[in-house]
Amino acid sequence: MRVILFVVVLLALVGVLVADGASMYGAHRNAIDFSNRAAEQAAQTYADTGGSEDAVHRVIQDMAVNEGFELVDLSYHRGTTRWYEVTVQAAGTTYLLGHLPFVKDHLAQQSTAVAHF
């Protein structure tokens, strides 16, 4: 009877960890997709507004808030070409890992994308 109870508890724990891992992977993929879209939108907004970096920041910040992401960095670079670099952070839904003190601060998923124009 103890062996069966141990196996059931172990399978439940593994199931929760797999669900947390899938959630973290989903957050990572969403952050990648959003950062790519945000970088392209930043370049397009910059071109549409005639070079207004304030307008770009407002548009990208609104996009991030509306879609549940945190905008970590938005920077405009000028060299031989021009480009926007966007870094966003997303948090997945966790059932177990978010409650562990030594792990919970490392669960946010970040992604950076660049759009040249």
Alpha helices in 1-117 (DSSP H): 2-48, 53-67
Residue 115, classed as helix, strand or coil, is strand
Q: Look at 2-6, 47-51, 104-108 and tell me which has the smallest mean pLDDT.
A: 104-108
Asked whether residue 102 carries a pLDDT value surpassing 90, the answer given is no
Torsion sign (Cα): 28, 30, 32, 34: negative
Instruction: Give per-residue pLDDT as tens, 29-76.
Output: 999 999 999 999 999 999 999 999 999 999 999 999 999 999 999 999
Q: Residue 99 above 90 pLDDT?
A: no
Residue ranges covered by each domain of the chain: 2-116
